[in-house]
Amino acid sequence: MRILDIAAKDIQQILRDWKSALFLLIMPVLFTIFFGLVFGPVTSGDRQRDPRLPIGLINQDPGGQLSDSLEELIGQSAVIRPIRLGQEAAERAVDRIEQGDLVAVVRIPVGYSQAVSAGQPISLEVITNQQTPSGRTALIALDTVTGRLFGAVESAHISVEAYQSRIGFDGDAARQTAFQEAFQRAVLAWGSPPLTVQVEQATGTPAPGGRGVISNGFTQSSAGMIVQFSVFGLITSAMLLVLERKNRCLQRLLTTPISRAEVIGGHLLAMFLVVFVQEALLIFLGQFAFGVNYLREPLAILIMMLALAFWAACLGLLIGALARKEDQVIVLCLGAMFFFSALGGAWFPLDVAGKAFSSIGHVLPSAWAMDGFQNIILRGMGFGSVLLPAGLLLVYALAFFGLALWRFSFE
């Protein structure tokens, strides 16, 4: 019970300090907006309406039945979105891939329809960067589309051959017409395949109310600022601990019938609750103001919130144990914030920073916190994807807690 009393007193003091609102809410919101705009500007046009991966398409076999059908199948893909390119644009295709405008460029070669109909080997020309997840995804999607095309051609051939052997055609024109009909039916059949794989878009979702704000940048900045300010927001609560030691209240507590464990537990609980409520507010804003879809896996997000809050509280306790003066709290909190945020991927995705940097970053708990949140809001993964990040956060939390206990002094 006394643990709750100490936690309630701490929270009362934190809420009474005007700096708390600044560090816990105002600054995180402002930084979320700022970084959101930096990483992923509010987009318009095709990308706003269609979040599929854009690929450039150059059809050098125009009018061919199969090449036209291939274009249709690409257009129906849930993963890639064709953008027709003229010859001039085709010459700058590689540049556009490097600039990120396109993830791939596909060229349908001359005579493609004829070669495929005749069963002769011919393949699409694809330019992409296979080192990127988007490039690899586009290649897989193109394989799927061409597989469907070849499947439709094959089934049309089988159908025609079967008719030929049982009834027979009146000439090549009738045979060609039958092939085209069979091919069309086969292509149409792909509209309702016997087996489908649901692909969830790993991007922001439109904000409710039709405000039409979609920003991939907010999926980075919202989660990033939650992680960053869970550390920076510790300033006021860690400061309380230092002041309590400095004004001898901490020592006076030990003259009452309360144990040292209860005192530490009370302060830890207050820090945990403050960070948790801060996370909840920022996630609420992220969901309903910035269109980041946290609530697609609410239980997973809750687990990440709890794990992050516990780790941050243990870090706050450690800072409160190490600092002897108020200015030391500020220095330690700022240092921790910069260190964990920059290296842990709170400011920019570790994916874009290269493998070595990403590996180094994942030594830090903040990187795992980012992974946990982004597995849900960016990568479209399920509940199971947060168990490892949350588990590792708890391990880090226990380590920090042990350090805090070791360094904690009541005098």
Partner 1 sequence: MPDGVAIRAQDLQKQFRAVSAVRGVSFEVRAGEIFSLLGPNGAGKSTTIAMLSCLLQPTQGDASVCGHSIRQSPQRVKACLGVVPQDIALYLDLSARENLEFWGKMYGLRGATLRQRVAEVLAIIGLTERQKDKVGTFSGGMQRRVNIGAALLHRPDVIIMDEPTVGIDPQSRRHILDNVKELNRQGMTVLYTTHYMEEAQELSHQIAIMDQGKIIVCGTHAELIRLVGERTRLDLTLHSEDDALVACWRSIAGVHSLSADHGRLTLLVDDSNLVLPRLFETAAQVGVRITSVTIEEPNLEAVFLHLTGKALRDAL
| Contacting positions for partner 1 (CB under 8 A) | 2, 5, 9, 12-13, 16-17, 244, 247-249, 251-258
Least separation in angstroms between CB 21 and partner 1: 15
Least separation in angstroms between CB 268 and partner 1: 17
Q: Which is nearer to partner 1, 247 or 359 (CB)?
A: 247
**3-class secondary structure for 287-351?**
HHCCCCCHHHCHHHHHHHHHHHHHHHHHHHHHHHHHCCCHHHHHHHHHHHHHHHHHHHCCCCCHH
Burial class (CB in 10 A: 0-12, 13-18, 19+), 210: exposed
Which phi and psi (to 5°) does residue 57 adopt? -130, 125
Least separation in angstroms between CB 266 and partner 1: 10
The candidate with the shortest Cα–Cα distance to 228, out of 340, 318, 328, is 340
Q: How many helices, marked H, and strands, marked E, lie in the chain?
A: 19, 4
DSSP 102-152: -SEEEEE-TTHHHHHHTT-----EEEE-TTSHHHHHHHHHHHHHHHHHHHH
Least separation in angstroms between CB 210 and partner 1: 46
317 neighbors 271 (Cβ within 8 angstroms): yes
Least separation in angstroms between CB 22 and partner 1: 17
Least separation in angstroms between CB 250 and partner 1: 9
Least separation in angstroms between CB 272 and partner 1: 20
Least separation in angstroms between CB 2 and partner 1: 6
Chain centre to alpha carbon of residue 215: 12
Burial class (CB in 10 A: 0-12, 13-18, 19+), 93: buried
Which residues 6+ apart lie within 8 Å of 389 measured at CB? 304, 307, 368, 369, 371, 372, 375
Tokens of 232: 């920076």
75/82 Cα distance (integer angstroms): 6
374/376 Cα distance (integer angstroms): 5
Q: Which is nearer to partner 1, 1 or 195 (CB)?
A: 1
Q: Which is nearer to partner 1, 71 or 244 (CB)?
A: 244
Which residues 6+ apart lie within 8 Å of 309 measured at CB? 230, 272, 273, 275, 276, 279
Which residues 6+ apart lie within 8 Å of 382 measured at CB? 297, 300
Q: Which is nearer to partner 1, 241 or 377 (CB)?
A: 241
Least separation in angstroms between CB 254 and partner 1: 6
Tokens of 6: 């100490």
Q: Which is nearer to partner 1, 5 or 327 (CB)?
A: 5
